[in-house]
Structure 1
C-alpha cells in the first residue's frame, strides 16, 4: 500500500483552502493552519465585503437613470420617499455575508476530511510545521509538502497611521455606522478607485488623491479615461499628480497634507496604498525559501519555492494579486506535488475586473503591450452607447475593445467597460484561453437585445476578407 502524502497548508485563504481541497481529492492527509478565518482576507475583509458594499452602491448608481427610465424617486407626498443609505445596516449585511461564506468553506473542508487548526503556523525546516494554537497549545506537524498561503495586509506609512475610526484601511471601513460627511481616498489604484466609486454612489462627498496623472494607472488608458470622466460627472473631486505626505486627525477632522504643501480636509480618510506580504516570522529563510526585495515569496509557474517540497500561493507571492489567481496557484501546487496532470500558470489567460461603476474587465494582452510592440495585434473599440440594450437601460458609458492577431484573426485580449463587465468579459476570456478567432466569436449567436451583442459586433468588425 502506497504511503499517504502529508500536506500542511499555512493560511486558509483562496490559495490555501483550494489547495487543501485538491490535495484531499487526490488522497493526501491534509491539515490547514489558519489564523485569520477560513477564506482569508478575500472573504473576511477584502473581496467579499467590498463587493457586497459595492452591490449596494451599484443600485444607488443605477438610480441616476431613474428619471430617464420614467421612475419618480423622492416625489413630494405624505411619506418621505427620498433615496438614502443606512450604512450601519449595509455594513451589518457585509459582515454577515462574509462570515457566512467563511462558514461555508469550513463545512466544505470538513466534508472532504481536511483538518483545520486555528492558530499560526511557521516552518521548522522544509518538512515540519509548528502550529501555535489559539487555545494556547502547540502542535508539530510532519509534512511531505508545505504550502504557504499567508496573504498580504494593507500598506501603511509612518506618517499615515490608521486609527480605525477616522483614518482607515480598507479592512476597517465596515465598522462605520454613519455615512462619512467627506471622505478622502488616498490612492487611485484598483482598491482606491473601487471604494471612491462606491462611496460616491452612496452619496458621500469624495476626494480622490492620485499621485499619478490619471486614476487606475495600471488599467487600459481608454477605460481609465471613461472612469475618470464618470467620477467627475458624478461630483467626485479627483486630485491628480498629488502625492500624500501625511494624514493627521484633530477630533472629527482629518487632514491630508500633500508633498507640495497643499492640505485637504475631510471627516474620514481611507488609505489605499497597496499591500505588504505576510511573510514575517514564518521561518521561511531558515527553510531555504527565497524572498524578493519586497518580502514576497519567489515562486515559479507551478508554485514551487526555492525550498524542496515547499510551495506558495496567493498574495504572499505578489503574482497578480487576485483571489482567482491565488486559488489557481494553490490548485497547481497540489496537482504538481501529487503527480496529477498540471499546466503552468499562464497570466495571459487571467481575466480581472475593477468593480467601479461602470466596471472595467480585462483579459489577455493589453493596449499598452500592443503600443509598445510586444505583440502585433489589430484592435477594434466599439462604444456601448450604440447598443440597443444599453439604450434601453440608460447606459451611456463604456465600450468593448478586442485585440486580434493579424492574418490568423486569433483573439489575444480584450477590454470591456460597462455595467457587469465582469460577466461580459467571459466570452472574451474563453476566446483567449482557447485561441478562438474573431470570426468564430462573431458567428456564435447572441441574444437580441443584449450587451453581449456588442462583443460579437466588435468581433465582426475584425473580420478581414481573405484574398
Structure 2
C-alpha cells in the first residue's frame, strides 16, 4: 500500500486526498488553517456569500423598476425599509465557511484519511515531518503533494492592522458598514469587494494602477463593469498607484505615488498574493521554485523532485479552486497508476463575481488579438434578450468565438447575472468541440438568458455561410 502525505488542506489537497484514498493509498493530510484552506475559510465561500447578499440589496434598490414599493407609505423607496446588518452578514458567511470545512473533514474521515493539524515540511523526497503543538512526527511518504496556497500581498508602507487597514481575509471582522471604503487594486478580488460594498450602500473609492478595472479580463467585459461601477456612484481612480497608508484616529489616509492623498474610514489592500512556499524544505529536496516563489510543475502536477507533486495557487498555474482540485486529482491518478490525462487549461471556465458577472471559457480576446488563432465571433447585447428585460437587466452581452470554416466553438464570454451558471453550456461546447450549428439546434427555453447562446450560434452560422 502506497503512503501518501499531503501538505495543505485546500481544494488541491483535500481533493487529492479523496482520490488517493479511493485508489487504496494510506493517506495523511497535514493542514495549518483548517480543511478547505483559504478557498473555503477566507476567500471563495465567504466572499461569494457576501456578494450574494449584496446582489439581493441591489434588487431591493431597484425595486421600483419592477413595480415594488414600500408598504409604509411614508417611505419613498423600498430600500429605505431595509437595513444592512453587516455583523449578521459576516456571522452568517463565516458560519457557512465553517460548515463547509466540517463537511470536508467528515468526508475525508469517512475515506480513512488521517488528519493532522500542524505544519508539514519535507525532510527528503521520501520523508515528511509534521510539526504540531504536541511535538514533531516524522512520516514516511512514497508520494508527497504540496498544496499550501497563497496569502495576501502587503505593501511595505501600508501594513494591515486588522481594524482600518485590511486584507481580504480581515474584512469579515467588520461589524458596521464602512463610511467610506478605499479599495486598492482593481483585479478580481478588488473589483468583487468594491462592487459588493458599493451594492450594500457604502461610498467606495477604487484605486487602480491601470487604465481600466479588471485588466486581465476581456476588455469589452471589463468596460461593462467599469461603466456599471461608475453609474452606481463608485469613484474609480485610474492610473493611480498606491504608495503608503497610515491611520489617523478613525480615518485612513492613502498616499499615491504622485503625491495625491485619498481619505476614508477603511482601506482594503487587494494587490495580489504571495505563495506560502517558504520553510517547507522544497529547494533542499530538489523542488524548483520560480522567481516569485511558486512551485514549478508540469501538466501532471509533478515537481522537479521525484515523487513530489504540487497543486493549487502555490504553483501559479491558474488561481482557481477548480484548477487546484483538478491538479490534485491528476497528481494522485498519476502517482497511484490510474488512467490520467494531462491538465488542459484550454477548457477552463472562470468567473468574476461582480454585478453583472463575467464568465469566460476557452480562447480569449487577448489571445485572438495577439494572433494566436483566427476566429469568427459574434456579440449579442443582453439588452436585446427578453428575459433580461423582464428582470430589469440591461448591462452585459454574450460573445462566442468559433473557427472560421468548421464552426467549432473555441471560446466565449458571458457578461450577465448568473454568468457563472450560464457558462457551463459554453464550457461543454468547448470541451466537446461542438459547432455553432449544434449549439443553435439545441432547444433553449423561451424566455431565458441562455437563449442568447442559441441565437449567437445561429448568427455565426450565417457568418460562416457568407465566408464560404
TM-score, with normalisation over the residues of structure 2?
0.97
Q: Deviations over 1:179-224 (max 9, x none)?
A: 0000000000000000000000000000000000000000000000
Q: Distance in 2 between matches of 1:162 and 1:65?
A: 35
Q: Provide the C-alpha distance between the structure 2 equivalents of 1:116 and 1:74, rounded to a whole number of angstroms.
A: 53
Q: For 1:316 and 1:371, locate their aligned partners in 2 and report how far apart those are by CA, in whole Å.
A: 30
Partner of 1:170: 168
- Count how many residue pairs are aligned between Structure 1 and Structure 2: 463
Structure-1 separation of matches of 2:240 and 2:73: 43
User: After superposition, what is the alpha-carbon deviation per residue over 1:136-177, rounded to whole angstroms, capped at 9, x for unaligned?
Assistant: 221110000000000000000111100000000000000000
Deviations 1:51-71 (A, max 9, x none): 010010011122233111100
Say whether 1:157 aligns with 2:155.
yes
Partner residue in 2 for 1:440: 438
Residue number in structure 1 paired with 2:185 = 187
1:382 is displaced (CA, Å) by: 0.3
Task: Write the distance in 2 (CA, Å) between the matches of 1:431 and 1:185.
Answer: 37
Aligned to 2:259: 261
Query: 2:94 corresponds to which residue?
Result: 95
Q: Distance in 2 between the 1:120 and 1:5 partners?
A: 22
1:401 touches 1:415 (CA, 8 Å); kept in 2?
yes
Pair 1:390-2:388 in alignment: yes
Distance of 1:417 and 1:163 partners within structure 2: 36
2: CA distance, partners of 1:76 / 1:212: 46
User: Counterpart of 1:232 in 2: which secondary structure?
Assistant: helix
Question: Do the aligned residues in 2 keep the contact of 1:170 with 1:272 (CA within 8 Å)?
Answer: yes
Counterpart CA distance in 1 for 2:79 and 2:293 is: 54
- SS of the residue 2:124 aligns to: coil
SS, match of residue 243 in structure 2:
strand
2:295 counterpart of 1:297 = yes
Q: Structure 1, residues 66-125: CA drift from partner, whole Å, max 9, x if none?
A: 111100148434999622200000000011000000000000000011010010000001
Q: Identify the residue that residue 402 of structure 2 maps to in structure 1.
A: 404
Consecutive unaligned residues in structure 1, runs of 5 or more: none
CA distance in 1, matches of 2:287, 2:421: 38
The match for 1:71 is 68
1:75–1:81 CA contact under 8 A, matched in 2: no
1:294-443 paired onto structure 2 within 5 Å? 294-443=292-441
Indicate conservation of the 8 Å contact 2:356/2:416, yes or no.
yes
5 Å-filtered alignment, 1:232-247, equals 232-247=230-245
Q: What are the Cα deviations for residues 315-369 of structure 1, in whole angstroms up to 9, with x where unaligned?
A: 1101111100000000000011111111111111100000001100000001111
Write the distance in 2 (CA, Å) between the matches of 1:73 and 1:387: 29
Aligned residue for 2:52, secondary structure, equals helix
> Could you tell me whether the CA contact under 8 Å between 2:399 and 2:413 is conserved in 1?
yes
| 1:392-423 C-alpha deviation (Å, 9 max, x unpaired) | 00011010000000001000000000101000
Distance in 2 (CA, whole Å) between partners of 1:407 and 1:89 is 55
* 1:146/1:309 contact within 8 Å kept: yes
Alignment correspondent of 1:115: 114
- 2:35 corresponds to: 38
Report if the CA contact (8 A) 1:74-1:80 is conserved.
no
1:12-91 equivalences in 2 (<5 Å):
12-73=9-70, 75-77=72-74, 82-91=81-90
Indicate the SS of the match to 1:441: helix
Measured after TM superposition, the shift of residue 283 of structure 1 is 0.4
Name the SS of the counterpart of 2:30 in structure 1.
Answer: strand
Distance 1:80 1:10 in 2: 47
Specify the SS of the correspondent of 1:124.
Answer: strand
CA distance in 2, matches of 1:284, 1:89: 42
Corresponding residue number in structure 2 for 1:465: 465
Residue-by-residue CA offset, 1:1-50 (whole Å, 9 max, x unaligned): xxx00000000000000000000010100000011100000000000010
| Cα RMSD, aligned residues only | 1.3
Aligned residue in 2 for 1:213: 211
Gaps of 5+ in 2: none
| Aligned-pair CA distance for 1:384 | 0.7
User: Is the Cα–Cα contact under 8 Å of residues 186 and 209 in structure 1 kept in the other structure?
Assistant: yes
The normalised TM-score by structure 1 is 0.98
Does the 8 A contact of 2:57 with 2:79 survive in 1?
A: no
Secondary structure of the residue aligned to 1:246 is: strand
Q: CA deviation at 1:372?
A: 1.2
SS in 2 for 1:447: coil
* Distance in 2 (alpha carbons) for counterparts of 1:73 and 1:36: 45
Q: 1:210 to 1:15 in 2, by over 3 A?
A: same
Conserved 8 A contact 1:66-1:73 = no
Aligned twin of 1:104: 103
Mapped to 1, the partners of 2:43 and 2:323 lie a distance apart of 15
- CA distance in structure 1 between the partners assigned to 2:343 and 2:13 by the alignment: 16
